[in-house]
Structures are given as C-alpha cells and as structure tokens.
C-alpha cells in the first residue's frame, strides 16, 4: 500500500461539478492499493498517517500530527500510485489491486479512519475526480507499508 500524503491548507474533490469531499487545514491522502494489501496494511497505514508529524509546532518544527492539530483528512483512491513505472514509456497496472479488491479495502480504510478521527472526507471510488488543493509548504511524503 502506498499513500501520497500532502499537507494542505485546503483541498477538495469534485465529481461532475459537485463537491464530494472538502477539508481545510489537514492532509490530502492519495491511496494506492496493491494486490498483497489487507486489513493489516490498512491498520499500519492509518497509524502512520494519523501520527506522522508534518505540522509545525510553536518553534516552527515539524513536530505535530494531523491528530494533534485536529485537522481534516481527505482520502482519495488513486490506483496509478501502484503502477509499475520501471521500464518503458507507459505505466503498467498489473501491480495495482483489482478494482473489486481495491474498492473493498478502500471502503474498509475509510470506515476505520472515521472510527479513529473526527474529520474524514473522501473522494468517490472509481469516478473521474477533479482534485484541487493548496499544498502547504509544499510538504509531500510517500508512505509505504
């Protein structure tokens, strides 16, 4: 499982012109699910995601997590993160989970996230989404479990 975590001052996801998820300060998280992923990887990723210290403390150092600042989390499924880009000029997607598995695991991830954190928003699985954000910093990390 891969998650591209971006510290944002705001982010939103639109589908066909309608906003389906929106946050102010917090994390936009693009999630790539791979065939070997399961509940254990979801739990590890959420623990890392909620506790990863990417927000500034009083001294301006990255010492606070999204939980510490009570920020929003916008989860967006993005199968292209799991693409094989090792050779050629076209990505391969055999390294990404099948749509049925990915949808089930993404739904499980969202359920677990909502049980652990107050402000969780999502995109729409499988939809053509328009994601807009103001990356704060910019601060972006690729997390893998």
CB 74 within 8 A of CB 87: no
> Which residue among the candidates 80, 85, 111, 134 is catalytic per the annotation?
80
Q: Is 80 a catalytic residue?
A: yes
Q: Is 111 a catalytic residue?
A: no
Question: Distance between CA 5 and CA 63 in Å, rounded?
Answer: 16
Percentages (nearest 5) of helix, strand, coil residues in the chain: 25, 40, 30
> Which residue among the candidates 6, 55, 78, 106 is catalytic per the annotation?
78
Question: Distance between CA 51 and CA 80 in Å, rounded?
Answer: 25
Q: Is 79 a catalytic residue?
A: yes
**To which residue do tokens 């066909």 refer?**
16
> Which residue among the candidates 55, 79, 106, 122 is catalytic per the annotation?
79
What residues act catalytically?
78-80
């Amino acid at each position: 499982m891969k998650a591209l975590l971006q510290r944002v001052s705001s982010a939103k996801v639109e589908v066909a012109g309608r906003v389906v998820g929106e946050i102010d300060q917090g994390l936009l998280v693009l999630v790539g699910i791979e065939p070997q992923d399961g509940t254990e990887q979801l739990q590890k990723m959420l623990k890392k995601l909620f506790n990863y210290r990417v927000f500034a403390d009083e001294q301006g150092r990255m010492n606070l997590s999204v939980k510490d600042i009570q920020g929003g989390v916008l989860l967006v499924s993005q199968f292209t993160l799991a693409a094989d880009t090792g050779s050629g000029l076209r990505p391969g997607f055999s390294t990404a989970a099948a749509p049925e598995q990915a949808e089930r695991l993404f739904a499980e991830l969202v359920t677990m996230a909502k049980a652990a954190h107050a402000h969780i928003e999502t995109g729409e699985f499988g939809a053509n989404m328009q994601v807009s954000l103001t990356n704060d910093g910019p601060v972006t990390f690729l997390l893998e479990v």
